[in-house]
Amino acid sequence: MRNQNKTVTLEKGRERLAKNHNPWVYSKAVKHVSDGVSDGDTVAVLDFSGSFVAWAHYNSKSGIALRLLEWDEAKYPDENWVREKVEAAVALRKRIIPEDTRIFRLIFSESDMLPGIVCDVFEKTGVLQISTPAFDRIKHQLAEIIAKAADLEAVYEKSDGDGRKIEGLPEKSGFLYGKQSVTKIVSCETSLFFGIDLEGQKTGFYADQRDNRRLFGEVAKGEVLDICAFSGAFSVYALKSGAKHAILLDISKESEALVRRNMELNSIDPSRYTFIKGDVFELLRKFSAEGKKFDSVVLDPPKLVPSNKYLEKGLRAYKDLNFNALRLVKKGGVLATFSCSGAVTLADFRSAVAFAAHDAGLELGILRQLHQAPDHPIRVSAPETEYLKGLLLKVG
């Protein structure tokens, strides 16, 4: 079964993690690449002695030279193999997605054994992100497989961001499957409605925060401060659950229009919210100088630590943000605070928040530790798939 013409041999002793089903092999662990191997090829990964380890996709341009796919030598990862993995991902989502939700992640890369593929679903449209040359080669076939397995009418490609650049791929967007031409959709999450712009940030909406938004809506009272609001979804949940008023902060150009649209979709009167565009670091310091206080605060910043190289700097940024946010919470109020940086562990994040509380002279109680929604499953052999972590805190 093995294609002897396309093999990659690992340095001695570097096969341990791979044999334990961690899906990434870094370029420094590669000893030899056989002749004729091109970026995007499926290769047999061999240990130093020449024994089979796994099938993988190879890319010389990436720091992650090998993305491991299959450890059974008899199961070559061809189109039928891909179809089986997609169908397994669809079956899982049918079991775990609530009936009142039509916004969810269908495929979550390594967690669904399909490294380099992310696909979110909004109503009957899939939004596909491809970040590796191997799957980029077959993206039209891949879109058709996903559409048929998940009963979708259209699949839109939104392959952009740093991941594509690191893999040596250009940014691409546009419909790969179906006749749909509309890129703005209204979809439903736990009976609330949100506008999705397929040409906007990421895949159009952050489905990973679904459970955390619902929880924040349940506990948020009085005056709400929504920091790095983007679509305003946290505030929508809070206001629909009885919070009095929300102030939403974000620097992105598209955020204000998204917030306004989502408030309208959920029949929230404009008098109940205020959007302020600007740098949140500066705005939080300004609010503190003015003595402003809020009953409920949510802090959901973008990724501040892109890799381990920036960990120390990023943790200082998390500490600074949380310090300034904590000073704005009334005694007895709540703060929901998050990190979506995969390089930051929950222990790292808790430590940054603890330092922030110390410097602010505040006592905190953790009401709940928060994670990504279950349609973003965490693969035990790939700890990198646990990227979103958060804390629901009682302040004072």
The residues, ordered by sequence, that sit 6+ positions from 14 with a Cβ below 8 Å of its Cβ are 25, 29, 48
Mean pLDDT per segment of 10 residues, for the chain of length 396 residues? 78 96 97 97 97 98 97 97 98 96 98 97 96 97 98 96 88 93 94 93 88 98 97 98 98 93 98 97 96 98 92 96 98 98 95 98 98 97 94 96
Fold classification of 7-70 is 2.30.130
Residue 64, pLDDT score: 95
Residue 293, pLDDT score: 98
Domains 7-70 and 206-395 alike in fold: no
Domain 206-395 sits in CATH at 3.40.50.150
Domain boundaries, the chain: 7-70, 79-186, 206-395
Residue 179, pLDDT score: 85
Let me know: does 87 contact 146? Beta carbons within 8 Å: no
Residue 1, pLDDT score: 47
**What pTM, to 2 d.p., does this model score?**
0.94
Residue 253, pLDDT score: 84
Distance CA 125, CA 232 (A): 22
Domain 79-186 sits in CATH at 3.30.750.80
The tens digit of pLDDT for each residue in 328-364 reads: 999 999 999 999 999 999 999 999 999 999 999 999 9
